[in-house]
Amino acid sequence: MAIILGDHQYGKAENRIVRIVRDAPRHEIRDVNVSTALRGDFAAAHLVGDQANVLPTDTQKQTAYAFAKRLGRDSIEEYGLALARHFVDEVSPVTGARIEIEDFAWTRAVVDGVEHDHTWVRNGQEVRTASVTVEGRGDAQRAWVTGGLKDLVILKSTGSEFRGFYEDEFTILEPTTDRVMATSLTARWRFGTTQVAWDELYAGVRSILVDRFALVHSLALQQTLYEMGRAVLEAHEAIVEIRLSAPNKHHFLYDLGRFGLTNHGEVYHADDRPYGLIQASVTRDDAPDPGPAWHQYTGLV
């Protein structure tokens, strides 16, 4: 039986880059976490320790910082495409590059009722994400881009049910026709093109996800996720698939009866674990080939 080297890659993970744009009195800030991964002819490094084809991970870090000048005006997707294409086009042993980006939001500080030109407060909302994969050179080059978000914590106090479920001898959960539903949503959507108004589309997708969560009368979190995904695909032709992951952030009605108090859906215990984890993908039936990176790097989400 032969023993062989399987799939392999390497890169520099979690380069924390802050870009300040100072070309006007009103400064701008971009705060990102960038990870690179390269594929190519690196077998000799594993098999005999020959590093001749290995671009150091430190070089990948330096390149990510150098290219961060582009973050002054470009979206994170455009930055990721430029960085990935550089590695594939300019580093001869590299045949594929994967760039993962997290974008941390800041809001301007308000001083005396006016937004300050160069002071910000870290935004506590979701983290925007992007992934870019580029493979091949010249006319054969292909690029796959995903956008996304994580840690979008969202809750509604009514409009959610959970009943009619399968029961066995270990089932003690009581059905309900009205409950608090909350989650910390992770979503990743795959583009069928790289000709996209990235920032505008992100804002549109986020708005749809929040809108559907709020307005769909939910018979189950599964149903809500599907309706969210379906609405995104209907609104944005550039997106061919969306994957959603939603941990159920349980809120249990607290027993105030022992204190002689009534609790008409007013006081809850927020329990962070264990939790139900609902995941789903919604796709177009004619979606193009997602490329090797979509399944390998994202799992279900």
State the catalytic residues: 12, 57, 250
Instruction: Give the integer Cα–Cα distance in Å for 8 and 99.
Output: 16
Instruction: Give the integer Cα–Cα distance in Å for 216 and 203.
Output: 20
Q: Where are the beta strands (DSSP E) in the chain?
A: 15-21, 28-40, 94-104, 106-111, 114-122, 127-135, 142-156, 181-191, 239-247, 250-253, 268-271, 277-283
- Find all residues with CB under 8 Å of 213, minimum gap 6, and list them: 154, 156, 185, 224, 228
Q: Please report where in the chains the tokens 């009605």 appear, as a residue.
A: 253
Residues 95 and 84: beta-carbon distance below 8 Å: no
∠ Cα 228 275 267 (to 5°): 90
Give the type of residue at 193.
Answer: T
Residues 104 and 127: beta-carbon distance below 8 Å: yes
Cis peptide before 93 (omega within 30 of 0): no
